[in-house]
Structure 1
């Protein structure tokens, strides 16, 4: 202990003999050493903090990516559902309008069927004009997706036919459509109007 005391005393005396420039240089060197030691000690702490920050950033990116994917999937489902609903609404509206046109077609059929055969040019051209309008109407209905139901001679099917009368008919056989009383129509494979039929027993 006495030796250490003498050593410190010698160092103090040596320091006292240093010039101000030497003392400043020595102090600077000691400060640099202390700073380097501090930085070295804090390096693992910095690396650990950076690693935590990277992991947190990765987790956040992953979470945001997942949310984005979910949002895109929801939007795609919404778009498809909207298109489907729009198509259904259009078909519903079209069906309603086309149903109202069916009695007009019925009346044209009756008029064409009842048109008298005459050599009179006026009557003849009138009958031809009626038939042309009727054919054009049927063509336009077909383009809109309307097709007549084939009923006569076919087995009775309640999906397409509405039996309003029955008759004995051994030629046709049982449960076969003997006569079509009112034409039925399909709109895009769904029944727009059932065929009104007479069925053989």
Structure 2
């Protein structure tokens, strides 16, 4: 009987040892699985992070490109407006230059009318047309250049004659032969003048 008891105890011990080994094995395999899971998650998270970084980089690149395009378009718009304004001014100057001889002829014609005919309806009509033309030119930004009594300035006056006149100071405009005009800040035509020495 003792022999049987001993065998039973040995069998129980063996089973206990096997059970312990099995539980240890399970723990170790479970641990490995968890390690694998963790190490498996890491690369996936790294992949997601890299993907996110690439997307953010791409977004920044696209935002930068959009900003540059907007700045380029804004510069283009400003340049176009400037060119358009410049072309308008050049065109206006050309037209005004062609109108000035007509203004000169009006002035010469009205200046040559005798005093007794100034009330003539035709002359009065011509004077009104001349005044309307001058008002229109003024509204466009055309102004006559002041000359007589002013100091000679080569930027505005074109000296065609010199005269000795003690009453006038040196380099003072004594007489104006043809009126000069400015359009905004640009001289369209210089005044033709006689200058005192």
Task: Give how far 1:35 is off.
Answer: 7.3
In 2, Cα distance between equivalents of 1:119 and 1:190: 38
**For 2:49, what is the secondary structure of its paired residue?**
helix
Residues 116-164 of structure 1 show CA distances to partners (whole Å, capped at 9, x for unaligned) of: 22269xx611111111111001001111111000111111000000000
For structure 1, the 5+ residue unaligned runs are 1-6, 12-31
Q: Is the 8 A contact 2:117 2:123 kept in 1?
A: no
Q: Is the 8 A contact 1:117 1:124 kept in 2?
A: no
What residue is the counterpart of 1:69 in the other structure? 67
What residue is the counterpart of 1:165 in the other structure? 161
What residue is the counterpart of 1:80 in the other structure? 78
What residue is the counterpart of 1:151 in the other structure? 147
What residue is the counterpart of 1:15 in the other structure? none
Per the alignment, do residues 93 and 119 of structure 1 end up closer, same or farther by CA in structure 2, a change over 3 Å counting? Answer: closer
Task: Give how far 1:42 is off.
Answer: 0.8
For structure 2, the 5+ residue unaligned runs are 1-13, 19-29
Q: Is the 8 A contact 1:149 1:185 kept in 2?
A: yes
**For 1:77, what is the secondary structure of its paired residue?**
helix
**For 1:86, what is the secondary structure of its paired residue?**
helix
Task: Give how far 1:36 is off.
Answer: 6.4
* Candidates 35, 50, 53, aligned match of 1:52: 50
- 1:130-145 alignment to 2 at 5 Å? 130-145=126-141
What residue is the counterpart of 2:38 in the other structure? 40
Residues 88-123 of structure 1 show CA distances to partners (whole Å, capped at 9, x for unaligned) of: 111111110110000000000011111122269xx6
What residue is the counterpart of 1:186 in the other structure? 182
In 2, Cα distance between equivalents of 1:47 and 1:166: 94
With the length of structure 1 as denominator, give the TM-score of the two structures: 0.79
What residue is the counterpart of 2:104 in the other structure? 106
In 1, Cα distance between equivalents of 2:132 and 2:40: 91
Q: Is the 8 A contact 1:155 1:175 kept in 2?
A: yes
Per the alignment, do residues 55 and 33 of structure 1 end up closer, same or farther by CA in structure 2, a change over 3 Å counting? Answer: same
Q: Is the 8 A contact 1:181 1:197 kept in 2?
A: yes
With the length of structure 2 as denominator, give the TM-score of the two structures: 0.81
In 2, Cα distance between equivalents of 1:116 and 1:62: 82
